[in-house]
């Protein structure tokens, strides 16, 4: 299949692995790389890349799974919305099992409340059009990749005067999270594998602070095995030379300035606000809220929530998301916390670091 | 968290369903025949009679019509296949309908005609049945249950417990087509090419394969939970390790493309007209050749082997020359696909 098979070529993979090993030998010290995107986490595990890297090269996973970083409070809000009369809640698949304080959307659906899976916000808008007597609330999560589609959906809803459609807005932004991460003294990262999809929208410029202020190199990477292997090779070569550039490896999709149209749509609909990340706490200017002209679509404007008091657990997802520990260093991992009964956010999504270690960890992950 | 109610994940063929079956069903109904957990029960009614295979399956797929089939065809093929993969010759079926008040009779007729055609093709007779109607909104249009009986020829002995180290694993064709066809139809997702279900009765293909009955140890149709669930169940039942080569798993380009777009793993998506066979290594080539001569086995391919290490686990050898665990599905990828 075009654009897929050529990026999974076993012969080229072998060549790249050899190159990585050669450079790693010349670096001659421990190097820690961080991949920031949940899709990279899964791609790396699915192709088993961690296990073939040289001993001195480690890849850790950062806070780039939108499902994992959605705050417990936001799930509690969605669960509360479900229980309103004449209400349908729509959500992307992975959000269904994210644990709230008392319920996940899966368990509340099992009690008969109307929760529906959608593949895009436009599906949710369709549901609203077909159910004019009901209120349809879309649990709107995701990074800069997803947000433009939500913005476009709201623009359409406004144009077509669909007034039974709302969103519960929990969008998050990647660069501010990286900034927060790099300001922590515990972090020791020599290079970043940056998210290809997010960068398709925002371009390479918002990451400049990584190289300019922190002197760390980064590669905006694609998601196929060869993309990732090439990105690792490029990072290691930069580390060896002591250079700290932002390189676009995923050049078939990402331009330096990103997607101007999408950025425009985002600006029209959203403004930037502080927001709460599960496991990381509140990060300044790291989220989206609706601008006043779109405020009517914000469900929080129309109802008051009574939320349950949150429980404390020994979950160390915050440390996992910052790359301070690996999942199996957490006492709950594989014992109290499994994909079937997740406690922490990283076990919830199939893109979560802990879930990926659980599923694909295999021989080296044990 | 509320874990006291049934959720859709309890029906997906994965870990939660297995746990429910073990803790509630096996613990209450358990007996040596049920405990084998094969696709059909193989039993003898008296000592001098031959062995029969007996199975049942319910169908709740939505939408009820989809490219490549419908709920009626699926209800026949599903039960025929559960018998066939035990090496049985399917003979008699029962049919139970649960119908929602308000269903158009023309739709019921269309389903029944499709079932008649599928039964004729599979050479099985529908010999008893039941019809119930429930109030509007108490079921979704129509649910169908079928049960089936087949005869197991002497010398045939397959079970998910019989896999042995060095066995060769053959897939009868491209996988995951049923799941992706249902999803595309249900969600109105349009792709350039039509994604069609592989729904088909496998008994004719199996009867060709049974010429080498002694060399066939396990057969399984990878339905709910797909290839990953079927292989994990066999690895656990037989207490063996399994290794699959990612590159050799047959996948149609359009299915692969749709999975890439939707973020689904094809190894977890169901097929309804494919089987996996674990065969003795010395007969693998000849069985594969035989399968390929049959219409339903044209795309058959060797996808992996049974090993002595990592017992009860399935490993996937990836393109990049590494390997990773291929686990049971945990949560629901797609509810109501069969």
- For B224-279, the pLDDT digits (tens) are 999 999 999 999 999 999 999 999 999 999 999 888 888 788 999 999 999 999 99
- A185 with A274, same domain? yes
Interface test with B, best of A90, A106, A196, A230 (most B CBs within 10 A): A106
- A106 with A168, same domain? yes
- For A262-272, the pLDDT digits (tens) are 999 999 999 99
B2 domain residue, yes or no: no
Partners of residue A104 in chain B, C-beta under 8 Å: 1
The CATH number covering residue B132 comes to: 3.30.1330.10
- B229 with B293, same domain? yes
Closest CA to A1 of B34, B186, B191: B191
Q: What is the mean pLDDT of chain A?
A: 90
B108 domain residue, yes or no: yes
pLDDT at residue B114 in the model: 98
Chain B: give the shortest CA distance to residue A297, in Å. Answer: 24
Q: How many CB pairs lie under 8 A apart between chains A and B?
A: 102
- B172 with B62, same domain? no
**By CA distance, what is A8's nearest residue in B?**
B319
Separation between Cα atoms, residue A16 and residue A10, nearest integer Å: 10
Q: Which two tokens stand for residue A188?
A: 């020791």
Separation between Cα atoms, residue A222 and residue A219, nearest integer Å: 9
Closest CA to B67 of B328, B257, B255, B216: B255
DSSP per-residue letters across B20-42: HIIIIIIHHH--TTGGG--SSEE
Residue A163, helix vs strand vs coil: coil
The CATH number covering residue B191 comes to: 3.90.650.10
- For A108-127, the pLDDT digits (tens) are 999 999 999 898 899 999 99
- Does residue A165 surpass a pLDDT of 50? yes
Spell out, as residue ranges, where chain B has pLDDT lower than 70.
1-2, 331-333
Residue A38, helix vs strand vs coil: helix
Separation between Cα atoms, residue B40 and residue B90, nearest integer Å: 11
pLDDT at residue A94 in the model: 80
B330 domain residue, yes or no: no
Is A119 close to B5, i.e. CB distance below 8 A? no
B331 domain residue, yes or no: no
- The number of folded domains in chain A is 2
The CATH number covering residue A45 comes to: 3.40.50.11740
- Does residue A366 surpass a pLDDT of 60? no
- B127 with B199, same domain? no
Q: Which of A97, A108, A225 sits opposite B320 (nearest CB)?
A: A225
B7 domain residue, yes or no: no
**By CA distance, what is B327's nearest residue in A?**
A359
Is B1 close to A99, i.e. CB distance below 8 A? yes
> Of B126, B152, B178, which residue is a domain's last?
B152
Chain B stretch 241-260, residues whose beta carbon is closer than 8 A to a beta carbon of chain A = 247, 253, 256-257, 260
Cis peptide before A220 (omega within 30 of 0): no
- A158 with A124, same domain? yes
- The number of folded domains in chain B is 2
- B135 with B178, same domain? no
Interface check B327 vs A, CB under 8 A: yes
Give the structural domain span for B62: 38-152
B125 domain residue, yes or no: yes
Interface check B282 vs A, CB under 8 A: no
Is B253 close to A1, i.e. CB distance below 8 A? yes
- A242 with A231, same domain? yes
What mean pLDDT do residues A20-27 have?
95
- CA A274 to chain centroid, in Å, comes to 17
Chain B stretch 6-25, residues whose beta carbon is closer than 8 A to a beta carbon of chain A = 6-9, 15-16, 19
**By CA distance, what is B15's nearest residue in A?**
A340
pLDDT at residue A364 in the model: 38
Q: What is the DSSP letter of B141?
A: S
Element (H, E) at A326: none
Is B319 close to A13, i.e. CB distance below 8 A? yes
- B122 with B204, same domain? no
pLDDT at residue A54 in the model: 93
Q: Which residue has the higher pLDDT, B14 or A306?
A: A306
Q: What is the mean pLDDT of chain B?
A: 93
Separation between Cα atoms, residue B205 and residue B273, nearest integer Å: 10
Partners of residue B19 in chain A, C-beta under 8 Å: 340
- A204 with A245, same domain? yes
Q: Which of B189, B319, B325 sits opposite A362 (nearest CB)?
A: B325
Separation between Cα atoms, residue B96 and residue B146, nearest integer Å: 6
- A214 with A341, same domain? no
Give the structural domain span for A356: 317-365
DSSP per-residue letters across A166-190: EEEEEEB-HHHHHHHHHTSTT---S
- A138 with A225, same domain? yes
SS3 track for B289-332: HHHHHCHHHCCCEEEEEEECCCCCCEEEECCCCCEEECCCCCCC
Closest CA to B81 of B196, B230, B184: B230
A91 has which bridge partners? A117
pLDDT at residue B333 in the model: 66
> Of B152, B183, B203, which residue is a domain's last?
B152
B254 domain residue, yes or no: yes
- B223 with B292, same domain? yes
- A307 with A345, same domain? no
- A337 with A195, same domain? no
> Of A296, A314, A332, which residue is a domain's last?
A314
- B120 with B174, same domain? no
- A37 with A148, same domain? yes
Interface test with B, best of A102, A340, A343 (most B CBs within 10 A): A340
- A267 with A345, same domain? no
- B195 with B139, same domain? no
- B84 with B215, same domain? no
- B179 with B320, same domain? yes
- For A327-363, the pLDDT digits (tens) are 989 999 999 998 878 888 788 777 788 887 887 664 4
Partners of residue A9 in chain B, C-beta under 8 Å: 319
At A242, is the pLDDT very low, low, confident or very high (cuts 50, 70, 90)?
A: very high
Q: Which of B7, B19, B319 sits opposite A106 (nearest CB)?
A: B7
Pairing mode of beta strands A191-195, A217-221: parallel
Separation between Cα atoms, residue A347 and residue A325, nearest integer Å: 15
- B312 with B190, same domain? yes
Partners of residue B16 in chain A, C-beta under 8 Å: 340
B163 domain residue, yes or no: no
- B126 with B272, same domain? no
- CA A338 to chain centroid, in Å, comes to 20
pLDDT at residue A269 in the model: 98
- A81 with A228, same domain? yes
């Amino acid at each position: 299949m075009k654009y897929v098979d050529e990026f999974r070529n076993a012969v080229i993979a072998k060549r790249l692995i050899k190159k990585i090993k050669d450079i790693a030998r010349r670096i001659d010290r421990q190097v820690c790389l961080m991949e920031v995107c949940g899709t990279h986490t899964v791609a790396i595990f699915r192709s088993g890349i961690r296990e073939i890297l040289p001993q001195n090269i480690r890849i850790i996973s950062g806070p780039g799974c939108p499902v994992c970083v959605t705050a417990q409070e936001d799930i509690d809000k969605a669960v509360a919305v479900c229980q309103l009369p004449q209400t349908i809640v729509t959500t992307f698949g992975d959000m269904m099992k994210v644990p709230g304080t008392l319920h996940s959307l899966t368990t509340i659906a099992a009690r008969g409340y109307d929760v529906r899976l959608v593949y895009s916000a436009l599906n949710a808008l369709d549901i609203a059009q077909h159910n004019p007597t009901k209120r349809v609330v879309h649990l709107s999560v995701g990074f800069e990749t997803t947000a433009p589609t939500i913005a476009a959906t709201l623009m359409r809803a406004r144009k077509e005067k669909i007034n039974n459609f709302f969103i519960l807005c929990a969008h998050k932004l990647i660069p501010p999270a990286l900034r927060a991460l790099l300001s922590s003294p515990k972090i020791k990262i020599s290079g970043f594998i940056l998210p290809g999809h997010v960068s398709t929208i925002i371009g390479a410029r918002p990451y400049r602070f990584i190289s300019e202020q922190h002197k760390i190199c980064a590669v905006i990477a694609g998601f196929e095995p060869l993309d990732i292997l090439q990105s690792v090779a490029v990072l290691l070569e930069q580390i060896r030379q002591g250079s700290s550039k932002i390189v676009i490896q995923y050049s078939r999709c990402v331009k330096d300035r990103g997607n101007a149209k999408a950025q425009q749509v985002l600006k029209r609909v959203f403004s930037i606000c502080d927001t709460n990340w599960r496991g990381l706490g509140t990060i300044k200017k790291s989220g989206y809220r609706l601008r006043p002209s779109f405020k009517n679509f914000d469900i929080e404007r129309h109802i008051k929530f009574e939320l349950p008091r949150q429980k404390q657990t020994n979950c160390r997802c915050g440390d996992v998301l910052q790359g301070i520990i690996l999942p199996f260093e957490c006492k709950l991992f594989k014992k109290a916390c499994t994909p079937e009964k997740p406690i922490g956010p990283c076990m919830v999504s199939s893109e979560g670091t802990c879930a990926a270690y659980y599923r694909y960890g295999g021989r080296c992950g044990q | 968290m509320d874990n006291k109610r049934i959720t859709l994940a309890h029906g997906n063929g994965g870990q939660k369903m297995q746990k429910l079956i073990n803790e509630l069903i096996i613990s209450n109904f358990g007996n040596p025949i049920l405990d084998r957990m094969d696709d059909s029960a193989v039993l003898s009614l008296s000592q001098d009679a031959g062995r029969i295979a007996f199975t049942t399956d319910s169908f709740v797929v939505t939408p009820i019509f989809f490219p490549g089939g419908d709920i009626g065809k699926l209800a026949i093929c599903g039960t025929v296949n559960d018998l066939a993969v035990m090496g049985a010759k399917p003979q008699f079926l029962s049919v139970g309908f649960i119908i929602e008040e308000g269903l158009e009779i023309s739709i019921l007729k269309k389903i029944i005609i499709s079932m008649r055609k599928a039964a004729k093709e599979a050479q099985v007779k529908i010999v008893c049945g039941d019809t119930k109607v429930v109030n509007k909104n108490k079921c979704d249009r129509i649910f169908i249950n079928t049960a089936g009986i087949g005869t197991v020829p002497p010398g045939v002995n397959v079970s998910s417990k019989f896999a042995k180290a060095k066995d060769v694993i053959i897939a009868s064709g491209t996988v995951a087509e049923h799941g992706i066809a249902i999803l595309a139809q249900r969600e109105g997702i349009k792709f350039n090419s039509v994604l069609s279900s592989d729904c088909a009765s496998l008994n004719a293909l199996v009867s060709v394969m049974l010429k080498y009955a002694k060399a066939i140890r396990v057969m399984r149709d990878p339905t709910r939970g797909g290839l990953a669930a079927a292989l994990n169940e066999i690895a656990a039942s037989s207490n063996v390790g399994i290794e699959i080569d990612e590159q050799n798993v047959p996948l149609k380009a359009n299915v692969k493309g749709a999975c890439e777009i939707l973020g689904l793993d094809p190894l977890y998506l169901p097929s309804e007209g494919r089987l996996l066979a674990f065969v003795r290594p010395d007969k693998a080539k000849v069985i594969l050749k035989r399968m390929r001569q049959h219409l339903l086995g044209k795309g058959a391919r060797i996808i992996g082997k049974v090993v002595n290490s990592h017992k009860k686990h399935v490993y996937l050898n990836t393109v990049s020359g590494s390997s990773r665990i291929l686990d049971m599905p945990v949560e629901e990828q797609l509810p109501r696909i069969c």
